[in-house]
Amino acid sequence: MNAPSSAAPPGFIVLAPGLLRPDWALPSGVRALVTTREGGASAPPYASFNLGRHVGDDPAAVELNRARLRAALGAQPLWLDQVHGCAVADADHAAGVPVADAAVARSPRRACAVLTADCLPVLLCDDEAGVVAAAHAGWRGLAAGVLERAVASMGVAPGQVRAWLGPAIGPQAFEVGDEVRAAFVDADGGAAAAFMPGVAAGKWFADLFALARRRLAAAGVERVAGGGVCTVSDPQHFYSYRRDGRSGRFASLIWIEAGPGER
């Protein structure tokens, strides 16, 4: 693998080339990880640690990258067929690649994983380290309720849930049309604060981080860390479809490292 970058993005700690740990207070026994573009086997324009099978990269390179990730985790990721919806897969019992945009796990060493390249990855856990979840939250998923569904699937009181917002397209780069703003504001007038007028009429700059915080708060989750790291403005570390067009995908993962008797 390539040598690690000299500096991590804000809010992260470099563990190894291509592997970042969120600077997020987690209960004992829970681990979280975010990959970067570095340290993999993929050639340009996917250089180099692309984990997405669906983007046109060499399948052999993607499988090598995924094998390297599994070895680093000590856990088995559940990969999803993400469709910008709000279905939640059960990572403990799922077979194959579920069509879902979130996953929940209660068993040790079963990692919930989402792939992104501008959409917002959201990681969740409870205070007792008994359940974890990950959600892929682009604007469509956010508006459809993917975060609310993920929180509900955890089966614990929302006040016991901690959330973390990963790297995503930032509010200075995410220009959308009236229909996107209406998808949020029509249901929640307060969401208007997450939109600033764009350059042209009918265009708005949208803040995915602020929208996610509102949806989590409405679901009863008040402890939300992370947010603010823009994929578009950090080509060294993160893939961005909006920036590059042809782009790989990085992963955000969370898992329970060991059962209660093993901690």
Going from N- to C-terminal start, the domains of the chain cover 12-169+223-262
Q: Cα separation of 59 and 34, whole Å?
A: 21
Assign 6 a pLDDT band (cuts: 50, 70, 90): low
235: which residues sit within 8 A by CB, 6+ positions away? 243, 244
Summarize pLDDT for 217-232 with one digit per residue, the tens: 999 999 999 999 999 9
CB-hemisphere CA count at 13 Å for 108?
Answer: 10
State yes or no: pLDDT of 1 exceeds 50.
no
At residue 7, the pLDDT reads 84
Looking up tokens 């052999």 gives 60
Tell me which fold the domain 12-169+223-262 belongs to.
Answer: CNF1/YfiH-like putative cysteine hydrolases (3.60.140)
Assign 258 a pLDDT band (cuts: 50, 70, 90): confident
pTM metric for this prediction: 0.95
Mean model confidence pLDDT for the chain: 95
* DSSP three-state, residue 65: helix
Assign 2 a pLDDT band (cuts: 50, 70, 90): very low
